[in-house]
Structure 1
Amino acid sequence: MNVGTIRGGANAFRLDALLKLSDIRGADGKTTLLHFVVQEMERSQGSKASDKPSGTSGSCQATLAEREGCSEMGTEFVSELSNELGNVKKVASIDLDTLKSSISNLSRGLARLIRLVGKDLTCNDRNQNFLQCMRSFQTHAENTMLELKVDEAEVLQQVRELTEYYHGEVGKNECNLLHIFVIMRDFLGLLDRVCREMRGSKHMQPLNIVLPLR
């Protein structure tokens, strides 16, 4: 990243920097750097849409109405990002400690069931029908718990790799392993708000990137 600059050679990108885009404001005190980023994304996607054959005479640049249509297409493209990352918002609401605790409780409950089936219930012949049902349930529960633990390990490893990719080495501190999803959820909220503001402004002036920022 940033090859050829004084910050060249970076091997990670911290996503929490995205949240700072809404903190940097232009001279008007209202327009943020995030407004500018969204505007440029809309302009880029609108330009791509204008290059596609529309089946009508002229292009998207032919009339003001067509240009506005291309701009709206760009806005919708940016807004769709929040829908595409909808699962990120769901993951951000998960309490990882509670999830791990639930799996541990299930594992301990299964261990008690195994002891019950293996010792207590086998001592009484009157329990044979119930014992047979419980053994069948035990087999199913053991297979399910094994799959659950494998899935848990795989998911946590993938989240760990994702976090290390964007935030560097995780190390032993995994209490905030899902924090990266919280960051993205907050950023998507900011993005949605900016998109609504820009849609509500019919005559928004283009942001000049040389405006003094504060």
Structure 2
Amino acid sequence: MATNKKSSDAAKDPGKGAASSTNGGPVTPTQISLLDSRKSQNIAIVLRSLALSRQDILDALVEGRGLPADVLERLTKIAPTKDEEALIRDYAGNPAKLADAESFLFHILRAVSSPFLRLEAMLFRSNYEHEVAHLKQSLQTLELACKELKNRGLFLKLLEAVLKAGNLMNAGTARGNAQAFNLSALCKLSDVKSTDGSTTLLHFVVEEVIRSEGKRLVVNRNHSLRRSGISGPTLDRTTSRAAREEREKEYIKLGLPIVGGISDEFANAKKAAGIDYDVLSGTCASLGARLAEIKRFVDTCSGDGFVIEMRAFMGSAEEELKAVRGEQARVLELVKSTTEYYQPGASKDKGSHPLQLFVIVRDFLNMVDKACVDIARNLQRRRPADAGSASKAGSKALSAAADQSSESGRKPMARFPYLPPNFMTENSKSDSSSDDDDEPS
């Protein structure tokens, strides 16, 4: 604390606070400042902004209630240091001559024991409910995110499409028969471009899933109509190439809303990516430690309303924190098992972030959303005459499939270079999908 000699002398003898005018005549000071002038001024500004009397604040300190969180926060910020507190307590002069800040501190320090510790305890109580509610909300988000990722739905279809594409691209190599791939590579799909640069692996995979979902709708619709004995519209595969291309276009149109809405299915997974794990894991410990500290302080106070209020709060808070700790342990174990489901061994890697899975999923889904927008835009631009004219380039592994696709009206598959070694992992056979419009799925 910075105090000038004038302030120190004034605390001992207010008469020494008088200054002399330039002509030698005495000037009687209107107020006595004991604190650093800047701090004294700042405290006075805060006090004026509260629109509360000193008695209102004293009553709240004794009763342990009556002040909103914003007032409590501002009051805790004007707490004096130990040296400043001692200086004000030792003031033996006329309290009426003290400056506004010093006068407030003088009366509050003498009227109530440890007033600023009381304010801090009351502020903690005011903020506690919000902090615990935020923690509970984060845990609920993580649990729902894990459930979203464990549902076998469209997300897994996208992953399977990535795996199949990777196996086709790496056919003939040691990595051409993989049953899994590095999940972090999902965010690099847009970096893998076709040999002619016309598309990316991301757009290729997304469009294949869109087509598959659109075709599934048509097949299931036709199957349902046949079972009902209703003659529905059919697509004759023996018609002209233009008609076949229209069929492919219909698949894309029908599948786009499905794949384009995937982010809605993973709202919690995307939200979980923004959770601060360090804050999440440390909140219970932090609240518990602060609660224990306040309990020790309350035990030293006399039995006034403040003590009664705080003990009632601490009793319920301790029980709630115990329950939240158990819930947190359960949810974090669920996060661990979900991570292991998608990234075996990742949870044992000390260098990996516990919530990295959700970050990968969020970024990948954002990329899928953008790819769907691009595909929809390209579909609108595509003319029926050249709807099937895409890149003629294709990898050796995809060339046969490209020939078959052109015969059925589909655009030839793009060719891609071999994927990097760390993209595909583990060996297993992959399945191929049927291209029959009459078989329901």
So what's the TM-score if we normalise by structure 2? Answer: 0.41
- Partner AA of 1:145 in structure 2: L
Tell me if the contact between 1:61 and 1:67 (Cα under 8 Å) persists in the aligned partners. Answer: no
Q: Please tell me the residue identity of whatever aligns with 2:333.
A: Q
| 2:266 is equivalent to residue 89 of structure 1 | no
Tell me, yes or no, if the aligned pair for 1:21 and 1:34 is still in contact at 8 Å: yes
Matching residue within 300, 303, 306 for 1:120:
300
Give the direction of change, closer, same or farther, for the CA distance of 1:141–1:50 in structure 2 (3 Å limit). same
Counterpart in 2 of 1:166? Answer: 342
Query: Mean Cα displacement is larger for which, 50-59 or 135-144?
Result: 50-59
| Range with greater deviation from structure 2 (50-59 or 177-186) | 50-59
- 2:198 corresponds to 1:30: yes
CA–CA distance in structure 2, aligned partners of residues 86 and 116 of structure 1: 44
Deviation for aligned residue 1:154: 1.3
> Contact between 1:27 and 1:212, CA under 8 Å: does it hold in 2?
yes
Unpaired runs of at least 5, structure 2 = 1-162, 165-172, 237-242, 400-413, 418-441
Aligned to 1:111: 292
Q: What does residue 49 of structure 1 align with?
A: 217
The residue number in structure 2 matching 1:186 is 363
SS of the residue 1:138 aligns to: helix
Deviation at 1:103, TM superposition (A): 2.9
Cα deviation for residue 96 of structure 1 reads 0.8
Computing the radius of gyration from Cα coordinates, the structure with the larger value is 2
* Distance (Å, rounded) in 1 between the aligned partners of 2:352 and 2:322: 24
Would the alpha carbon gap of residues 212 and 105 (structure 1) be closer, same or farther in structure 2, given more than 3 Å must change? same
8 Å CA contact 1:92, 1:181 repeated in 2: yes
The amino acid across from 1:130 in the alignment is F
* Residues 46 and 172 of structure 1, relative CA distance in 2, 3 Å threshold: closer
**Which of 1 and 2 has higher RCO (CA within 8 Å, sep 6+)?**
1
What is the identity, as a one-letter code, of the residue corresponding to 2:365? L
Alignment RMSD (CA, Å) = 3.1
* Aligned residue number for residue 415 of structure 2: 212
> What are the superposed Cα offsets for residues 34-58 of structure 1, whole Å, 9 maximum, x if unpaired?
2221122111111121121587864
Note the C-alpha offset of 1:17.
Answer: 2.8
Task: Report whether the alignment pairs 1:133 with 2:336.
Answer: no
- The AA in structure 1 aligned to 2:233 is S
Q: Which deviates more, 34-43 or 177-186?
A: 34-43
- Relative distance call for 1:25 and 1:144 in structure 2 (3 A) is same
Structure 1's 21 and 175: CA in aligned 2 closer, same or farther, altered over 3 A? closer
Range that drifts further, 19-28 or 154-163 = 19-28
2:329 is aligned to: 153
Whether the 8 Å CA contact 1:42–1:71 is kept in 2: the answer is yes
Shift of 1:61: 3.5
Q: For 1:55-74, what aligned pairs fall within 5 Å after superposition?
A: 58-59=232-233, 61=235, 68-74=249-255
Give CA-to-partner distance per residue, 1:28-84, whole Å, 9 cap, x none: 313112222112211111112112158786436377878645422201111111111
Q: Where does structure 1 differ by over 6 angstroms across 4 or more consecutive aligned residues? A: 5-10, 62-67
Q: Which amino acid aligns with 2:186?
A: L
**Which letter does structure 1 place at the counterpart of 2:300?**
D
Q: Residues 14, 165 of structure 1: CA spacing in aligned structure 2 closer, same or farther, 3 A cutoff? A: farther
Q: Contact (CA 8 Å) 2:193, 2:199: kept in 1 or not?
A: yes
Distance 1:183 1:148, change over 3 A: same
Distance 1:13 1:162 in 2: 16
- Does the 8 Å contact 2:210/2:256 carry over to 1? yes
Give identity over the alignment, percent.
33
Q: Does the residue aligned with 2:300 lie in a helix, a strand or coil?
A: helix
Give the deviation of 1:174 after TM superposition.
Answer: 6.3
Mapped partners of 1:92, 1:16: distance in 2: 14
**1:43–1:71 contact (8 Å) kept in structure 2:** yes
